[in-house]
């Protein structure tokens, strides 16, 4: 699906309940968040910033597994807070690099989508094309495309809207 087709789909989605044509209403937007949110009515859009959410955690995890559990719990709690079952809404999720970093599957998002709620996970192109100014030491591995690849595989190609 092209970005214009996707934006048209979401525009129609904000107006009335709409069943998903394939799979569920969980999408991966590889592009700027402003372009996405600017094309939709502000009353229908909810932003879920995973970086801001992680900053509010009451404790610092001591392991990747602990971080995984804490982030998963926080995502579920935040989704429960922002959901409005009686109106159309599009939840735009930023900071999705944390999902791949801590191995959090997108299952909490699949649990909340419906004919009234869509979720759009976002990865900005600046992240996937990041190149450090100076060379990194040999022991450092940089994979800027990893968050996009992680979510693309988890959601499937049909859910990817690549504006890049």
pTM: 0.91
* Res. 142: pLDDT tops 80: no
pLDDT computed for residue 127 by the predictor: 79
Q: H/E element holding 67?
A: helix 64-82
* Res. 22: pLDDT tops 90: no
Give the three-class secondary structure for 120: strand
* Res. 129: pLDDT tops 80: no
pLDDT computed for residue 164 by the predictor: 63
Look up residue 117 and give its DSSP letter: E
Q: Are 74 and 81 in contact (CB under 8 A)?
A: no
pLDDT computed for residue 62 by the predictor: 84
Between CA 70 and CA 30 the distance in angstroms is 26
pLDDT computed for residue 152 by the predictor: 93
* Res. 119: pLDDT tops 80: yes
Cβ neighbours of residue 51 closer than 8 Å, sequence gap 6 or more: 94, 95, 98
pLDDT digits (tens, 9 = 90+) for 83-116: 987 899 999 999 999 999 999 999 999 999 999 9
CATH architecture of the domain with range 3-162: 3-Layer(aba) Sandwich (3.40)
Share of the chain above pLDDT 90, in %: 63
Q: Residue 91 burial by CB count (10 A; 0-12/13-18/19+): exposed, middle or buried?
A: buried
Between CA 112 and CA 80 the distance in angstroms is 8
Specify which of 15-24, 57-66, 109-118, 152-161 reaches the highest per-range mean pLDDT: 109-118
pLDDT computed for residue 88 by the predictor: 95
Task: Decide the pairing of beta strands 160-162 and 26-30.
Answer: parallel
Cα–Cα distances (Å) from 90 to 40, 45, 63, 67, 87, in that order, read: 9, 5, 32, 26, 10
Task: Read off the pLDDT of each residue in 57-68 and give the average, rounded to a whole number.
Answer: 85
pLDDT band of residue 158 (cuts 50, 70, 90) is: confident
pLDDT band of residue 138 (cuts 50, 70, 90) is: confident
Per-residue burial over 97-111, b if 16 or more Cβ lie within 10 Å, else e, is bbbbebebebebbee
């Amino acid at each position: 699906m092209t970005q214009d087709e996707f934006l048209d789909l979401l525009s129609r989605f904000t107006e009335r309940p709409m069943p998903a044509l394939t799979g569920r209403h969980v999408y991966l937007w590889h592009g700027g968040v402003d372009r996405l949110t600017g094309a939709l009515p502000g009353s229908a859009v909810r932003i879920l910033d995973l970086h801001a959410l992680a900053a509010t955690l009451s404790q610092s995890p001591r392991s990747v597994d602990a971080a995984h559990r804490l982030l998963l719990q926080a995502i579920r709690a935040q989704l429960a807070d922002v959901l409005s079952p009686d109106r159309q809404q599009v939840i735009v999720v930023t900071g999705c690099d944390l999902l791949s970093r801590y191995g959090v599957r997108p299952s909490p998002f699949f649990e909340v989508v419906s004919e009234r709620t869509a979720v759009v996970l976002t990865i900005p192109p600046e992240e996937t094309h990041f190149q450090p100014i100076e060379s990194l030491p040999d022991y450092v591995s940089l994979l800027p495309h990893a968050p996009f690849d992680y979510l693309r595989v988890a959601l499937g190609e049909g859910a990817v809207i690549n504006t890049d």
